[in-house]
Amino acid sequence: MEFVISHLVKDYGSKHVLKDVNFVFEEGKIYGLLGRNGSGKTTFFNCINGDIDYNSGEFFFRGDRDSSDRQYLQPDDIGYMVSTPTVPEFMTGREFLKFFIEVHDEIKPDKTIDEYFDYMMVPEDDRDRLLKDYSHGTKNKMQMLLNIIASPRLMLLDEPLTSLDVIIAEEMKNVIRSQKSGRITIFSTHLLDVAVDLCDEIVLLHNGRLEPIDKSNLGDSDFKSKIISSLRDDSDGE
């Protein structure tokens, strides 16, 4: 399976944020979407997710590069995780998961609720507490857990490790790695080292276009400096 972006354009008035974006993402890989704050990463995700309109272009799934079969995205195909999660603070974690599963009757869970909690390393004494009392990191874990339960074909992760402590950030990285099989994962970040550590492929969003980066060159200090210089020069906005 591949996810194809073809000639995607998004303007805000006279400001050109996405300029003829073309790229092919392959199943089973984590792609690091690297760009400085304001480069258009969130705009790119919001176009795919259907949260905003775009000027032109299209995106779709296909079997492989030789396939002419196009499958356009449906809402259930996409999982979207943001850096600052919004949760129903009047519910406990357990109530929230139970409600989510009951509302989405198309979901066929393969674990019990406590097994899902165990998988995400949510402490037992948090599971029946109100979500309003959860730490930022545990709220992020709950958001990720919803996407794991829903099991979408395309996972969009928008700066999900921002403001997390070191331990939870490492736990989240391991979960993201464990979930890459059978889906396409696009992980946005403005931190080059995070992208190198976590992702199989790195794509630079620079001046409104996507450019692949060869990870094998990132050990070269001159090449790395060139990437950082490109990020500094990017003046478009999200």
Does 49 map to a domain?
yes
Separation of alpha carbons 236 and 211, rounded Å: 15
Residue 226 is predicted with a pLDDT of 62
The tokens describing 121, both together, are: 């390393």
Residue 235 is predicted with a pLDDT of 52
Residue 233 is predicted with a pLDDT of 61
Please, are residues 80 and 45 in contact by the beta-carbon 8 Å criterion? yes
How many CB atoms lie under 10 A from the CB of residue 37? 12
Residue 191 is predicted with a pLDDT of 82
b/e per residue 102-135 (b: at least 16 CB within 10 A): eeeeeeeeeeebeebbeebebeeebbeebbeebe
Find the DSSP H helices in the chain: 41-49, 93-103, 113-119, 136-150, 166-178, 192-198, 221-233
DSSP designation for 130: B
Rounded to the nearest 10 degrees, the angle between the axes of helix 136-150 and helix 93-103 is: 20
What does pTM read for this prediction?
A: 0.88
Domain count along the chain: 1
Does 238 map to a domain?
no
Residue 11 is predicted with a pLDDT of 95
Q: What is the span of the domain harbouring residue 135? A: 2-233
Does 218 map to a domain?
yes
Rounded mean pLDDT for each run of 10 residues along the chain, 238 residues in total = 95 92 96 86 94 95 77 91 88 96 89 95 94 92 92 93 86 93 93 88 91 77 67 56
Please, are residues 70 and 61 in contact by the beta-carbon 8 Å criterion? yes
Query: At 128, which CATH number?
Result: 3.40.50.300
Does 129 map to a domain?
yes
Residue 198, by phi and psi: left (phi above 0), alpha (psi -120 to 50) or beta?
Answer: alpha
Residue 67 is predicted with a pLDDT of 64
